[in-house]
Amino acid sequence: MKKVIRMILTLSIIGIFSGGVLSKINDWAVPYIEANKKAATEKAISLVQPEGKNYERIKEAPFEAYKVFDEQNNLIGYSLVYEGNGFQGKIRLMAGVSVDLNKITALEILEQVETPGLGTKVTKEPFTSQFNNLITTPQIDWVKGVKPDKPNEIQAITGATISSKAVVAIINSGIDQLRNFHDSGVK
Amino acid sequence: MKKQVTLSKEFLKGLWDINPIFKQVLGMCPTLAVTVSAINGIAMGLATTFVLVCASLLISTIRKLIPTQVRIASFIVIIATFVTIVDLVMKAKFPELSKALGPFIPLIVVNCLILGRQEAFASKSKPLRALLDALGNGAGFLLALFVLGGIREIIGSRTLLGFQVMPNGFEPWLIMILPAGAFLTLGLLLGFANLYTGRRDRFEKEALQAQYRSVGKEAVFQNDPSEKS
Amino acid sequence: MTASDSEENKQIRFDLTTSPHLHSKWSTQKVMWLVVASLAPSIFTSLLFFGLYQLLIIAVAILFAAGTEYALQVMRNKQPTILDGSAMLTGLLLALTLPPNFSLSATAIGSVVAVGLGKQIFGGLGFNIFNPALVGRAFLQAAFPVQITTWSKPHLAVDTISSATPLAAFKFDHVSTEIGPLFFGNIGGSLGETSALAILAGGFFLIAIRIVNWQIPVSMILGMIIFGGVFHLINPAVNPSPLFHIFAGGFLFGAMFMATDWVTSPITSSGMWIFGLGISLILVVIRLYGGLPEGVMYSILFMNAFVPLINRLTQPAIFGIKQGGQNEKSY
């Protein structure tokens, strides 16, 4: 009996002690972690909406999206965070969209697990800059091997067609969602 | 009572003789998963070493207070506490690194290397020895991860610690930064480590033979694997 | 030990079958050279369609394969056996699976990996689990994914639109290629795989002189007709006909020269059928649902891993013992 009590006591003391230490550390770390997250979001928004000075989360939306404002607090567009399946796993990206939802201002890939050195090219120039001022009506299309000749087309990366297609598909469905949300009247 | 080895030996054995990667072959999951670059290897090595040293020191200090029946549970709670500390600090202060190492920081909890050292050494030794053993093992782990990450980074992305070391004409071997590259590199390194150890043992044995012969005797080795083949 | 003794030893080492051990009239060396001869039509068509530069790729691949074999055998204090031609054959097979105008340094790396990691690390000829040439090809595929999928146009092409292989064209652009060009080989693709005619000529030669068992190629083609046919019947608009599957890409080359490798294929007749059908099933799934247009290499390597298991399961009962009887477990 004495043994059992000692076992319970030891484990309890260790548990209480580590719990106490962790709660202290957690209190210290949480503000920093929140700040890091906020800085990352801000940085991404400023990349996809270069003229934006202010932003506000659209709370009513069933997905992550932000209204972006300029210095005079005029709405200049939206930042849309959307994710979907890539070649090997989820691709999470942020796209800046104009107010009328017909144009993309810029694209930023937030998270991906594509093949290093190949699929990961979708995160870099010159692929990403193709999305600057890209028309989204009726939807974005991709071509392969030739230069795109329509305002709503981008060129897929040689050897990483699937990743390129995935990015296009994710943006398309994201914008569709945003349109539906927009049409439903909630602003 | 076994004869005590010197304190310096207690530290140095972790670097090669019982190197966690090359000799004990422990902690393979982080080893294979994070070593796409030398800096990742160093970060992982440092994080693991920190947890190992703290846990070893603490456990060796309170080793007489912990009942044998619940020792594993106690070890895990202590290790998990330190790992969570590392995880939170990294997320707060080094968000980039934390993102690169991803889920492998929390997984240090189940790294067999750490639990293994507690069970095999820290729970039976005085704090000073436990500290030196943990430092040695941590350093050995760090060294191995750095070598592995360095090789993979040089061949897989032409750089070492972010600086370009291979000429532009060298086409990077993408396989080296894929999981397959981790297995190939580790396998070859283990092979070379065994080759070296085998050769060194043979030379030592031959030297011993020669000594015996010089006094007119024949040395007999028991359980000699080399004589079977 | 006399010269004929060592010749005898080589033969026994190469023989993988269980007892009874019958003496074969072929030596390893002779077999290897006959296989090389059967590859001659494919080499010729590759030079014809893609130019003389391809001869350099072949030469580099053979040279480095043989060099690696020699170096590693010397390192391990073994009698070098490069003259039996098996390493050179590995190099040649590897070269024929590479795209035209492939970089020579990458070819050399592939050869070193094929013989070093694919064969010698297991202990040399007869001990390797995976087809060495395909191990080298898989390594190159993972190491240089862009270069190895960059296809040059064949020289004689007149109406080819792009240099994509028929499989890639089908997968990504939904363009089907006629069976005619597929059969004669004036299409984009790896050096040795484009001309079905040349491969069939070499393959039939090997089957006729009984170096290669007919079961594996036949079961693979039959499997392709069955599995590819089922998918084609379900949805003819999306899934190509089995005939396209057979003549496009490396299927025939794999069936004749890769899957039939003595060391890495099953030894029993029923095992060979399982092996061939399995390759075809995996291949159809990769081609239709995978991320890559082609999957012959992966499906053969995958089935290679199952060969020891297949051999165990299909081992014939010892004469005199009732199948499923009590004594069966005794071995």
Q: Which pLDDT score is estimated for C323?
A: 58
Q: Which pLDDT score is estimated for C17?
A: 57
Domain edges within chain A: 1-187
Residue A6 pLDDT greater than 60, yes or no: yes
Which residues of chain B make contact with C145, given a CB cutoff of 8 A? 174
The CA distance from C255 to C245, in Å, is: 12
Name the band, by pLDDT with cuts 50, 70 and 90, for residue B204.
confident
pLDDT digits (tens, 9 = 90+) for A133-175: 777 777 777 777 677 777 778 888 877 778 888 888 888 888 8
Which residues of chain C make contact with B175, given a CB cutoff of 8 A? 139, 142-143
How many other C-beta atoms are found inside a 10 Å radius of the C-beta of residue C153?
17
Amino acid at A43: K
Domain edges within chain C: 26-313
Residue of C nearest to A117 (CA): C145
pLDDT digits (tens, 9 = 90+) for B144-199: 999 999 999 999 888 888 888 888 878 888 888 888 899 999 999 998 888 888 88
CA of B173 vs chain C CAs: smallest distance (Å): 4
Q: Which pLDDT score is estimated for C52?
A: 86
Say whether C143 and B184 touch across the interface (CB within 8 A).
Answer: no
Name the band, by pLDDT with cuts 50, 70 and 90, for residue B222.
low
Q: Which chain B residues in 72-131 lie under 8 Å from chain C, judged by CB atoms?
A: none
The CA distance from C284 to C224, in Å, is: 7
Say whether C105 and B171 touch across the interface (CB within 8 A).
Answer: yes
CA of B16 vs chain C CAs: smallest distance (Å): 25
Which residues of chain C make contact with A161, given a CB cutoff of 8 A? 172
Please spell the DSSP secondary structure of C183-198, one letter per residue.
HHT-SSS-TTTS-HHH
Residue A5 to residues A15, A19, B62, Cα–Cα distance (Å): 15, 21, 18
Residue B1 pLDDT greater than 90, yes or no: no
User: Is residue B84 within 8 angstroms of chain A, CB to CB?
Assistant: yes
Q: Average pLDDT, stretch C243-268?
A: 88
pLDDT digits (tens, 9 = 90+) for A55-109: 777 777 777 778 788 777 777 888 888 888 888 788 888 888 888 778 888 888 8
Helices (DSSP H) in chain C: which residue ranges? Answer: 3-14, 28-50, 53-75, 86-96, 104-116, 132-143, 166-173, 179-184, 196-208, 215-234, 242-247, 251-253, 269-289, 296-313
Amino acid at C64: F
CA of A141 vs chain B CAs: smallest distance (Å): 29
CA of A102 vs chain B CAs: smallest distance (Å): 34
Q: Which pLDDT score is estimated for A187?
A: 47
User: Is residue C234 within 8 angstroms of chain B, CB to CB?
Assistant: no
Residue of C35, C58, C34 lying closest to C46 (CA atoms): C58
For residue B90, give both structure tokens: 């990294």
Share of chain C above pLDDT 90, in %: 35
Say whether A21 and B91 touch across the interface (CB within 8 A).
Answer: no
User: Is residue B176 within 8 angstroms of chain C, CB to CB?
Assistant: yes
Residue A185 pLDDT greater than 80, yes or no: no
Q: Which pLDDT score is estimated for B223?
A: 55
Which residues of chain C make contact with B176, given a CB cutoff of 8 A? 143
CA of B143 vs chain A CAs: smallest distance (Å): 25
How many other C-beta atoms are found inside a 10 Å radius of the C-beta of residue C52?
8
Q: Which pLDDT score is estimated for C309?
A: 93
User: Is residue A25 within 8 angstroms of chain B, CB to CB?
Assistant: yes
pLDDT digits (tens, 9 = 90+) for C52-69: 888 999 999 999 999 999
The CA distance from B121 to B127, in Å, is: 10
Q: Which chain A residues in 142-171 lie under 8 Å from chain B, judged by CB atoms?
A: none
Length of chain C: 331
Question: Is C26-313 assigned to CATH 1.10.3430?
Answer: yes
Which residues of chain B make contact with A18, given a CB cutoff of 8 A? 77-78, 80-81
The CA distance from C90 to C115, in Å, is: 7
Q: Which helix (H) or strand (E) holds A162?
A: helix A161-183
Residue C153 pLDDT greater than 80, yes or no: no
Residue A66 DSSP code: E
State the best of B62, B84, B153, B176 to mutate against chain A, taking most chain A CBs within 10 Å. Answer: B84
The CA distance from C127 to C14, in Å, is: 9
Q: Which pLDDT score is estimated for C274?
A: 93
CA B14 to chain centroid, in Å, comes to: 7
ipTM of this complex prediction, to 2 decimal places: 0.79
